[in-house]
Amino acid sequence: MQKTIDEIVQASTLPLSVIIVGVGDADFTGMEILDGDEEALFSGKLNKYVQADIVQFVPFNDFKNDPHALAKSVLEEVPGQVCNFMYKHGIVPNEQGEQNKSNVKHRLAAGVMGVSSDEHFFMSKMLEFAQ
């Protein structure tokens, strides 16, 4: 469990959402902890707290008879996560033109310094998308 928390804390600076759907009647206490709604995740390995809430946990059984409510609950936090990432990186939504593309690429590239190879790969894909 701690390794998963470490990875979530490390990934919390990236434009990433982790959605966990618990299926069945198992004890999902661990997933509730990963969701971080009650207490912010802390990585002892990295000696820091999660930088952004990127995890959403939804127990399927709570919504198994209402697919619309399931979809709403699963995706509920994603818009806020996107806006939070953009705000933290100075990316203005709906800003138009080539200058904005250049600004986005520059801001994303600045975030690549000091990250792991997996994070670098992800950021390079984000840069490709911004082109």
Summarize pLDDT for 46-86 with one digit per residue, the tens: 999 999 999 999 999 999 899 999 999 999 888 888 888 88
DSSP 22-90: E-SSS--HHHHHHHTSSS--EETTTTEE-SS--EEEEEGGGTTT-HHHHHHHHHTTHHHHHHHHHHHTT
Residue 20 has a pLDDT of: 93
pTM over 0.95: no
Statement to judge: residues 93 and 74 lie in one domain:
no
**Is 83 inside a domain boundary?**
no
Summarize pLDDT for 2-24 with one digit per residue, the tens: 999 999 999 998 889 999 999 99
Contacts of 90 (CB under 8 A, 6+ apart): 103, 107
**Is 32 inside a domain boundary?**
yes
Instruction: Read off the DSSP letter of residue 16.
Output: -
Domain that holds residue 25: 1-78
Summarize pLDDT for 81-108 with one digit per residue, the tens: 888 888 888 887 665 666 666 776 666 6
CA distance 8 to 57: 13
Total domains, the chain: 2
Statement to judge: residues 95 and 47 lie in one domain:
no
**Is 110 inside a domain boundary?**
yes
Residue 87 has a pLDDT of: 86
Residue 34 has a pLDDT of: 92
Summarize pLDDT for 33-48 with one digit per residue, the tens: 998 888 899 999 999 9
Which residue has better confidence, 46 or 116?
46
Residue 97 has a pLDDT of: 63
Mean pLDDT of 108-113: 56
